[in-house]
A and B are shown apart, each in its own frame.
Chain A
Amino acid sequence: MLSVETFVAVSLIKTVIALAVLLTAVAYTVWLERKVVGHIQNRWGPTRVGPFGLLQPLADGVKFMFKEDLIPPHVYKPLFIAAPMLAVVFALTSIAVIPVGNTISIGGIQTSLQIADVNIGLLIVLGVTSLGVYGVALAGWSSNSKYSLLGGLRASAQMVSYEIALGLSLVGVLILSGSFSLREIVDAQSGTYLGFIPRWNIFPQFIAFFIYLMAAYAETNRIPFDLPEAETELVAGYHTEYSAMKFAMFFMAEYANMITVACLASLLFLGGWHGPLFGPPLLQALLPVFWFALRIFGFLFVYIWVRGTLPRFRYDQLMAFGWKFLLPLAIANLVVTALVVAVRA
């Protein structure tokens, strides 16, 4: 066991590294989206700023910092300023319980590649996702304009509705793993079926995986569920009145939520960080992180691919889909999983 000072120091270092990596990942997810959507639409995407447009996020960051930060006179100032901060804080908090690899040992100090190994880790991620609705709702209301209000109301109703299907789709995984701790859920996916099919949860729980996928698209307000922020419908929805840094914060929050959702999917359905390990011990400690990142990249690629391909739902279709299709399907999946596990035991 570590002493208190060592524990605090190690946790601080892990937090700083995790935040730095997460913020860079957010910036480069934007780059990835622009490139992939560009290629889907038969054009290049950013190419001028640096090789392959790789410095575009940097240019975007500079632009956001220097843009004029307008606060319209008719807004409710305290909440107008607080809402993007809330959105970003809740979006970045869930990285604290996400493990990215096994326990490693540096200079005699053994620590796991996770900031906080809590035994209710999954519930914490769900709780933080639930709290993320406040940023959207308060932004829409405090902007004091019709597009913002409608966008905010629609977005918060949508997020709250699909949270249920999201949570229920994960209960099947919980029944199979027997724990809320994210690390234990990944450990339960080690090994193989028949010697070569990895024991990932996506194979017994493929229906749950697709429910999770669709609920995740709705939670993060992405196409095909992005009516609350669609340009042709509501100008820009809940972030219509925001400019410069505050808008950048909403933007960051959306992509950080995408990455969190991708991390959860990788941990719960795609086997976490399991993959072939080889080479010297240093490489063996870092390879799990690479496999994890590969899964996240794949999930994000599918996210962006769907964005470039599908049209969006109308709002009543969206709500009907969430309540009348996904929710009963998730419950049915839960009942079947529970029955199978009970009969097998």
Chain B
Amino acid sequence: MLHLILFLGFGAVCVAGAVNLLMQRHPINSALSLVVVMGSLAAEYLLLGAEFVAAVQVIVYAGAVMVLFVFVIMLLNAGEEEETKGSRVAVIFGIPGTLVGSLLIAWVLLEHSGTRSVAVGALPGPPKTIGWLLFHDYLLPFEVFGIGADCHHGSRRFGCAAGIAQEGKLMVPISYYLILSGILFACGVTGFLIKRNIITIFMSIELMLNGVNLSFVAFAAEWKALSGQVFVFFVMVVAAAEAAVGLAVIIAVYRTRETLNVDQVNLLKL
């Protein structure tokens, strides 16, 4: 019961943040909504027992990647989005398209997830175990990603934690977590299609990646396989590196074309 209440509470905050990202016209409000989404996702990860993933989500995603987004929005002094012909077309085609797509995804996920439930803290992910996996089973992809994104140092934190799984009556069906993940992903796709500001589009991509991360952690809890939580690290690394590089490109685009509207950045010629 408590598990369900906590899940629904943080899930509601998540969805409210994701919808607010779509509805706000100024990118700074969208960025802060996304920070709220990431914070509540960290709480959801804690509910599934992924403590290290939750901590890294706060430190890396909410505390570094989103700070970078806010910094760039402040630096470029991006203004509010205006309604143009392009944005109206995008809304007409984007929203029904997203609805169809998300219904499809929801159907597929629910078909294959069964009716299993997970307890609070279903699969504890203490730093020591995840570190062990990263350096033994997943050493090759870890090194490849590490050379590409220089994330070695963050993972060499061998923690010792007597992670105790709390079995018991605090069960929530795994499909609830997957539905939440699907909603976040659908909001991300909608934002990607209907928004005209480059930075907001980028933030919708981050929202999609967060939705996918939640799926990974949920499936890891269901099948008791820590590799789901390990993969979340790889997704986070890629997302962080991509955010840094993409924002640098956005700053360069703004400096030459003096606009952040994608409809006006569609020719190679200035």
Contact = CB atoms under 8 A, between A and B. Distances in A.
Interface of A: 79, 118-120, 123-124, 126-127, 129-131, 133-134, 137-138, 140-141, 149, 152-153, 156-157, 160, 163, 167-168, 171, 174-175, 178-181, 184, 331, 334, 338
B163 A137 contact: no
B243 to A, nearest CB: 13
B74 A124 contact: no
B35 A160 contact: no
A163 B62 CA distance: 14
A173 to B, nearest CB: 10
Contacts of B71: 137, 153, 156-157, 160
A119 B161 contact: yes
A142 to B, nearest CB: 9
A334 B153 contact: yes
Contacts of B153: 168, 171, 331, 334
Given A126-B59, A179-B160, 10 more contacts: A79-B28, A119-B51, A123-B52, A129-B63, A141-B70, A156-B67, A168-B153, A178-B160, A179-B159, A180-B161
Nearest to A119: B161
Contact of A137 (B55, B67, B162): B67
B59 A180 contact: no
A124 B54 CA distance: 10
B72 to A, nearest CB: 10
Contacts of A120: 51-52, 55, 127, 159, 161
B188 interface: no
Interface residue tally on B, bucketed by range: 20 to 34
Given A119-B161, A120-B127, A141 B28 contact: yes
B95 to A, nearest CB: 27
Contact of A127 (B32, B63, B159, B160): B63
Among all A-B residue pairs, the 6 with the closest Cβ atoms: A130-B63, A123-B55, A127-B58, A119-B161, A180-B159, A179-B160
Contact of B58 (A130, A152, A163, A168): A130
A119 B64 contact: no
Nearest to B153: A168
A189 to B, nearest CB: 15
B126 interface: yes
Contacts of A129: 63
Interface string B144-176: 000000000110111111110000000000000
Contacts of A181: 161
B108 interface: no
A167 B154 CA distance: 9
Nearest to A156: B71
Nearest to A76: B28
B214 to A, nearest CB: 18
Contact of A171 (B55, B74, B157): B157
Query: Main secondary structure on chain B at its contact with chain A?
Result: helix
Given A127-B58, A180-B157, A134 B162 contact: no
A307 B63 CA distance: 28
A133 to B, nearest CB: 5
Nearest to B161: A119
A160 B65 CA distance: 10
A123 B74 contact: no
A120 B124 CA distance: 12
B75 interface: yes
B20 to A, nearest CB: 13
A171 B70 contact: no
A123 B161 CA distance: 13
A174 B62 contact: no
Contacts of A126: 59
Given A119-B126, A126-B59, A175 B70 contact: no
Interface in B80-127: 126-127
B158 A334 contact: no
Contacts of A79: 28, 32
Interface in B14-55: 28, 32, 35, 51-52, 55
A180 B63 contact: no
Contact of B161 (A138, A153, A179, A334): A179
Contacts of B35: 134
Given A134-B67, A181-B161, A124 B55 contact: yes
B161 A131 contact: no
A130 B58 CA distance: 8
